[in-house]
Structure 1
Amino acid sequence: MTSRVEHTDVGAYALGLLEEDDRHAFEAHLLGCAPCRAELSDLSGMASVLSGIGPVEDYGAPSPEPVIDLLQRKKRTDRKTRRGTFVIGMAAAVTLVAGGLTIGTQLSADDVPQMAQAHGSHMGPAEQFYADGKPIEGTGVDGVTGGLVVESKAWGTHAALKLAGVKGPLECELVSVGKSGDRRVMTGWSVPPAGYGVPGSPDPLYMHGGSATPLKDIDHFEVVTSAGKKLLNIHA
């Protein structure tokens, strides 16, 4: 990926399998790619789950290897051939683990509670980050409510959004507004007709987003529609 960034690298990035140069390049790619950010939100946290699983029998190796180590070794090999082969294999491994299947995997009694704890809350990565943080409540219009949990990163600002009281169909964006007035789209999404956090569809929406603007240089955040209507305003 040092020569070009590929969308398929989101899986390898989520598992921490990219080398340093590739990782920096993909993080820069994430800032401008909403589909990759959305996919990363779904895959985030899988590295810790896979790391907690016992060794997998690899019949070409002298001894069993932990799942994450086996994937890392496979990634290094597949970088020399086809990038897509690894991604398909990684996705299959993630699906098997998430579904509770452990083909070729040895789980000790101590591993089971660890996996149950990882999956027991049923929270997605964005919701978990929001729940663990200190939300900044926003000011909404027309019954819209929500807030942000933000953190400073070396590459800029990471945020988790909670949004409720909104009906669709709508296309929305989370935007960071710098103290200098510069605006950066952090993430975008579509609101289905049923909406989020409303009667008949009570669950709020949780989304991850990223801005290249450092947190100290951000004045506030906005949730806006594609038509330019401001739904929520959050001061940094």
Structure 2
Amino acid sequence: MSFQVEHTDVGAYALGLLEADDRRAFEAHLRGCGVCRAELGEMGALAEALSGVDPAEAEPPGEPARPPAPVIDLVRRKQARDRRVRRVAYAAGAAAAAALFRAGVGVGTTLGGDDEQKPPPQAQAIVGERHQATDAGTGASGTVGLVNKKWGTQISFELAKVKGPLKCHLEAVSTSGARTVVGGWRVPAPGYGVPGSPKPLTMQGATALSRDEISRFQVVVDGGGTLLTIPV
């Protein structure tokens, strides 16, 4: 009676150990199984090498010659060992891939050789063409960044060493003396860039003046007085 066809029948089929019904069933299975066809190709050389081995005892008439029992056991052990090796290799590969995925971020941050991860660089508040100045009288210091645009000039601004409370605004002054307000703000106590409040004021603004039309920027106190002039 024919038994259920399995992948492990490749060795028995290559050595002619299957009965007629089982051989036909395996051949039908072989047509749709690429794994068995590949393994059968590997077993072909072994089958040819064993084809000339005399059996230990004569087989009854009509029965195919069978290799000695130790050879059959050797083939079966080899198949079982190969299957175990494939399972172990697959599991190890999956585990390594998972470990690499989990460690990916850490690997990327330690390639520089530092023991500690470096924080990502912070975006600078000032972009474009930079100009800086400090007023000797008020002590205020500031920096502007200019980016020329089709519509005018994009402006980034930083102000420090200013004590509050104050209300101020930034003006762009053209080469002809025309003034344009870029933006205004309130300076609370104690101020910006001073003891107790070390962070500077940062802001973004714009003017319709082109870069070539601007001669300077001025920080003006509401109600009168100039804290800082930044020539550009």
Q: TM-score range by the shorter chain?
A: 0.3 to 0.5
Q: Which structure has the greater CA radius of gyration?
A: 2
**More RCO (CA 8 Å, sep 6+):** 1
Q: TM-score, normalising length from structure 1?
A: 0.46
Q: TM-score, normalising length from structure 2?
A: 0.46
